[in-house]
Homo-oligomer: A and B are copies of this chain.
Amino acid sequence: MYNHILNNIAKHISLDKEETDHFISFLKPRKVSRKELILQQGEICKYINFVDSGILRAYYPDKTGKQSTIMFAVTDWWITDMFCFIHQQPAMLTIEAIEESIILQLSKESLDNLYIRIPKFETFFRIIFQNAYIREQLRTIQNLSLPAEERYQIFRDKYPQVIRQITQKQIASYLGITPEFLSMIRANKHKK
A125 at interface (Cβ–Cβ under 8 A)? yes
B86 touches A144 (CB 8 A): no
Q: Is A113 on the interface with B (CB-CB < 8 A)?
A: no
Q: Is residue A19 within 8 Å, beta carbon to beta carbon, of the partner chain?
A: no
A134 / chain B contacts, CB cutoff of 8 Å: 82-83, 86
Partner of A60, one of B69, B86, B129, B141: B141
Describe A's contact surface by its main secondary structure: helix
Q: Does A66 contact B (CB under 8 A)?
A: yes
Q: How far is the CA of A33 from the CA of B182 in the complex (A)?
A: 45
Give the residue of B82, B122, B130, B139 whose beta carbon is less than 8 angstroms from that of A119.
B122
Residues of A within 8 A of B (CB): 60, 62, 66, 68-70, 81-83, 86, 92-93, 115, 119, 122-123, 125-126, 129-130, 132-134, 136-141, 143-145, 173, 176
Tally of this chain's copies: 2
Alpha-carbon distance between A139 and B68 when the two chains are bound, in angstroms: 12
What are 7 contact pairs spanning A and B, CB under 8 A? A60-B145, A68-B141, A81-B137, A82-B137, A86-B134, A123-B126, A125-B130
Q: A83-B138, A129-B132, A132-B133 are in contact. List 9 more A-B contacts (CB 8 A).
A: A60-B141, A70-B141, A82-B133, A83-B134, A119-B119, A122-B126, A133-B136, A136-B137, A144-B176
Partner of A130, one of B69, B123, B129, B137: B129
Contact assessment for B133 and A68 in the assembled complex, using a CB-CB cutoff below 8 Å: no
Q: Which residues of B contact A69 (CB under 8 A)?
A: 144
- A119: chain B residues within 8 A (beta carbon): 119, 122-123
Find out whether the CB atom of B68 lies under 8 angstroms from the CB atom of A145: yes
> How far, in Å, is A15 (CB) from chain B's closest CB?
16
Return the chain B residue nearest A146 by Cβ. B62
Closest to A85 in B: B134
